[in-house]
Amino acid sequence: MTPELGQLALILALLLALAQGVLPLIGAWRGNRALMAVARPAAAGQAVFVAIAFGILVWAFLRFDFSVQYVADNSNLELPWYYRIAAVWGAHEGSLLLWIMILNVWTVALAAFSQKLPEVFASRVLAVMGLVAVGFLAFIIFTSNPFGRLLPMPGDGADLNPVLQDPGMTFHPPMLYMGYVGFSVAFAFSIAALLGGELEQAWVRWARPWTNVAWAFLTCGIVAGSWWAYAELGWGGWWFWDPVENASFMPWLVGLALIHAQAITEKRGSLRAWTILLSIFAFSLSLLGTFLVRSGVLTSVHAFASDPRRGVFILAFLTIIVGGSLLLYALRAPKVAAGKPFNLLSRETAMLIGNLMFAVAAAMVLLGTLFPLIGDALHMGRISVGPPYFGFLFPLLMLPVVLLLPFGPFLRWGKGDAGMLKSMLLRVTIAALACAIVAAFFVDGHMKAIVGVAAAVWIGVGVLLYAYKRWREVPRGRRYPAEMAGMLLAHFGVAVFVVGVLLSESLSVTSDVRMAPGQTQHIGSYDFRFDGAHRTTGPNWRADQGVVTVTRDGKDIAVMHPQKRTYPRGQVQTESAVDAGITRDLYVALGEPMDAGNIAGAWSLRLYYKPFVRWIWAGGLLMMLGGFVCAADKRFRLKRTVTRAEPAIETRLQETRA
Amino acid sequence: MSRLLPFIGFMLLAALFGFGIWWNTQHDPNAIPTPLLDKPAPAFNLPKLYEPTQTVSKADLLGKPYLLNVFASWCIECGVEHPVLQAEGPTLGVQLVGYNYKDAPADAKRWLAEHGSPYAVVIADEPGQTAIDFGVYGAPESFLIDARGVIRYKHIGPLTPEVVAKELKPAIAALRKETP
């Protein structure tokens, strides 16, 4: 009976979402305050019913209700409780439920904090969120019901995909979805602004922390996903340009552009149309990400659900939401160039170049990801472009960004100071060159590693110089407001990330070896000794576990236990062993026994020495932290009602409108 | 006009996706072309499940077409496929050879005792080595092998009544035409 209540809750949530999506829009159009007032209670009600549905599904997993098809497909009696909770979003239906649940979290937060916005505007924003919820709830109810029954009820369920049975999996999807869905706030703001025909700077200021927080969550999700692929998939890499990774990377890139564009619009009033367009794109790419993963249009490791009916539904939904928004943009986007003018040498120009590069990079990733599909359409066959394409173009596009990054903060709005720029250029060049020369002695002439050190120093010194300049010139207490501190942290994160990527890419040593017990393999400056393999068991798996002892100059460094696990349904999963360190990771994956019958004998092993690989994620986490810190700035809080305030900046965007 | 560009761009993209969905309904994504199709089946020599001391080789099975069905007691999909094989097996007109894949012999015997055996003979590949030669992705899979030992048809995943009627039976009928 309970699962049916879950379904009922979803249907009620859909009805409330319809009320939230339609009535306030009519109210805002007609000036009817009663209809506008529907938005908040409807949003709250919808959130309650979605939470009930979500709770019921969690409950069904916890008490092994295998009469629910989704539970039977994704868990079994041996699965530990924490993975049973993670199993809620382990497959298609449940991950959509998580999506809508998170959308409701954002909507409720928006409803709670938007009290001081003009009523017409706030009700339009909430209505747009409601319409997005309508689409997703209808999608769940009509094509992907997580509460469908399975009769007769099986005695035991199947299993959660073993690849997903990892601590990383428990929070990678929720973080990613927090980011994806968070962009819906900036999107709703833009649509509401287009509908109302005006975009006030004060509203952009209010939207900024939401975008920053969403982007920070997305960063966190991507970092967690990358870490998960590294530790769990046994591939030893940290980024694969897999279609599903790309699906999360595109909104990240556009979101990055959006953060900077919003800063320009808020502070200078310029680039309004571009900011609106970017916020539409960021959310559209989030929807597209969901579409690409869920429709089966592209098949990849992750695409565990493919059903043409679902594909058609998402495509229709995407066309209405994205096509509709872009049409609205075409009809009503601000036609007049507003805001303060700026010179060629100015912070605006630097940020615009960055913006352009991020947008082009996102388009490049989109093209590469869709290439197999385009190939089909042109009868060239399914061709994947893969890492060579991305790996060549992406660094090329990011080169100007890396070069400009240290100068952006030094440039003033409107008109930069060339003299200051020259002294600054001199200093970072000297620092970068000096460090590159020193580094050259340590990396045996690996060009990529030297470039990595130089680029990181270039950015890092630039960021530190700016922090020092603020320290010297600005009075105490006003030196590093949250917005400034966040920016410095995130930019410093880029430096850490760049050095991590280039050093680990160029200096890593990989070795596929056959090792008998007692044999030693020398990699980097480490000796890996294979001490044989034995059987072991876990809560729901059996495993062959190898023992590898690592020594350096005779001193013990680590004892590592790579595993090859077999889950109850016969799926085999490698569990690599990682010995983490600040300057290097040691990584061992267990291959196959040389003689299938004798696991105590020789095995094939894959050994890695990965210097500075951890810096990649550390850099990502710094960027994430920057996003969160920035959003905490007091300046972004709404202090008063902005209805008729600031007539000087309020611009009628739609001059031609009647 | 330039304000319409994003919209037009998106519509082109949507058209591409529409095409993608249509393409996927026309093409079975599971239909991975096997390089072995219309090639001689790899040589094998495997013990019988019930009499492990006796082996069955490829040469032993030449002369008559047969359906090699890869199954295992741990495989849930095999449980779905099993009733179909039980019902349709006798009507196919070819011998059914069970290929027990990466399974403990005791488990396999218990499973067959419980569900019944549609197979004329069951061979066991516990280490799964020979399955690599056949390019087996997982269980269940079925190979139709003709009298000369050539693989004529392959199906990945469970045989459903629909697949049997639309693909397997026509493939068997085609074999009959060649060798009356």
The reported pTM is: 0.80
Per-residue pLDDT for chain B (180 aa), expressed as one digit of tens each? Answer: 578 888 999 999 888 888 877 776 666 555 555 567 778 888 888 999 888 888 888 888 888 889 999 988 877 678 778 888 888 888 888 889 999 988 888 888 888 888 888 998 999 988 877 887 887 766 788 899 988 888 888 887 778 888 888 888 888 888 887 755
Residue at A162: amino acid letter: P
Q: Where are the domains of chain A?
A: 1-165, 167-404, 414-508, 509-612
Cβ B10–A329 below 8 Å, yes or no? no
Q: In Å, how far are A136, A372, A384, B71, B127 from A396, measured between CA atoms?
A: 38, 23, 20, 51, 48
Cβ A373–B19 below 8 Å, yes or no? yes
Q: Which two structure tokens, joined as six digits, stand for A530?
A: 């294979």
**A201 phi and psi angles, rounded to 5 deg:** -60, -35
| Burial of A263 per CB tally in 10 Å (0-12, 13-18, 19+) | buried
| Burial of A150 per CB tally in 10 Å (0-12, 13-18, 19+) | middle
Q: Which of A204-213, A299-308, A459-468 has the lowest mean pLDDT?
A: A299-308
pLDDT 10s digits, A313-339: 888 888 999 999 999 999 888 765 567
Q: Crossing angle for the helix pair A324-332 and B5-26, nearest 10 degrees?
A: 170
Rounded to whole angstroms, the Cα distance separating B89 from B175 reads 17
pLDDT 10s digits, B70-111: 988 877 678 778 888 888 888 888 889 999 988 888 888 888
From B62's Cα to the closest Cα of chain A, the distance in A is: 29
User: Is B16 in the A-facing interface, judged by CB distances under 8 Å?
Assistant: yes
Q: In Å, how far are A337, B95, B120, B174, B175 from B90, measured between CA atoms?
A: 79, 9, 10, 18, 17
Task: Supply the pLDDT for residue A233.
Answer: 67
The residue with greater pLDDT, A170 or A645, is A170
Task: Supply the pLDDT for residue A641.
Answer: 46
User: Is A193 in the B-facing interface, judged by CB distances under 8 Å?
Assistant: no
pLDDT 10s digits, A222-238: 999 898 888 876 667 88
| Burial of A136 per CB tally in 10 Å (0-12, 13-18, 19+) | buried
DSSP assignment, residue A153?
P
Rounded to whole angstroms, the Cα distance separating A28 from B29 reads 48
Task: Supply the pLDDT for residue A458.
Answer: 92
Give the ipTM of the model, two decimals please: 0.76
Interface of B with A in 58-77 (CB under 8 A): 72, 74-76
User: Is A329 in the B-facing interface, judged by CB distances under 8 Å?
Assistant: yes
Alpha carbons within 13 angstroms on the beta-carbon side of residue B161 total 3
Rounded to whole angstroms, the Cα distance separating A139 from A137 reads 5
Strands A563-566 and A572-575: antiparallel
Interface test with B, best of A290, A322, A540 (most B CBs within 10 A): A322
**A234 phi and psi angles, rounded to 5 deg:** 70, 20
Q: In Å, how far are A351, A487, A627, A631, A636 from A484, measured between CA atoms?
A: 15, 5, 11, 10, 13
**A552 phi and psi angles, rounded to 5 deg:** -135, 120
Least CB–CB distance from B76: residue in A331, A374, A569? A569
pLDDT classification of A302: cutoffs 50, 70, 90: very low
Closest CA relative to residue B44, chosen from B120, B154, B123? B123
Residues A368-371: contacts with CB under 8 Å, at least 24 apart: A368/A241, A368/A246, A368/A393, A369/A243, A369/A246, A369/A247, A369/A250, A369/A292, A369/A298, A370/A298, A370/B13, A370/B16
Rounded to whole angstroms, the Cα distance separating A408 from A270 reads 17
Q: What number is the average pLDDT over the span A242-255?
A: 90
Cβ A306–B4 below 8 Å, yes or no? no
pLDDT 10s digits, A619-652: 999 999 999 999 998 888 766 544 444 433 333 3
From A466's Cα to the closest Cα of chain B, the distance in A is: 37
